[in-house]
Amino acid sequence: MSIKISHEHALKLLFNQDYYKVIDAFLYLIKISKMKNINREKKYIIQMTNDSETEYRLPYIILDNIPSIKTKATANSIIDLLIKEDMIHFNDKLNSWEIPNMFNMLKDGSLEVKALFYTDDFYSLSYLEKKTLLYVVYIMSTEEYKRTKVINLDVLSKDNLLINIYYNRDKNYINKQIQSVIEKYFIVIR
């Protein structure tokens, strides 16, 4: 089964400027989450057996499975940011961490999280490279790309995501970043 992330969550990751390892952590949490039908509602949850300490084990799961995250303080900072951005929350009734709004994928679209996102190569990339790679995969999941097979780099358009992601209006700089990632990883992404 492929691992997918909603466009809403992908955009939150792309616009995040607070903490650069949040991409690693959230993509891992997506990977380990499971879809459950609860009271006729589908939910994506991270359930750790029937452990009464589930709420407090999440930092350790992140630490044990994401090599780029080295301390519990870092893991806790990431969890706090994900909670603040409404990307995860703890569901007391289910005694599980939940990833809300995953079913927005049906109306807003989704992107397939590639195996590359779970490799040491990805974990060792710079934050800008990670965001660029995520952006390219995001663009490749849009209807426009599927129809045209063209990645639109119109950086000067006022509503372009790239300006907001990079906080930079230099078209050449942004084009260079994206071209570099496409040349390096395009074969892997396809």
pLDDT for 3: 85
pLDDT for 159: 56
How far is 148 from 143, CA to CA, in rounded Å? Answer: 9
pLDDT for 190: 42
How far is 8 from 10, CA to CA, in rounded Å? Answer: 6
Residues of the chain under the 50 pLDDT cut: 1, 188-190
pLDDT for 101: 83
Residue ranges of the domains in the chain?
Answer: 4-105, 125-189
pLDDT for 1: 46
pLDDT for 156: 53
pLDDT for 59: 93
pLDDT for 73: 95
Per-residue burial over 72-101, b = 16 or more CB atoms within 10 Å of its CB, e = otherwise: eebbebbbebbeebebbebbeeebbbbbee
Taking the domain 4-105, which CATH number applies? Answer: 1.10.10.10
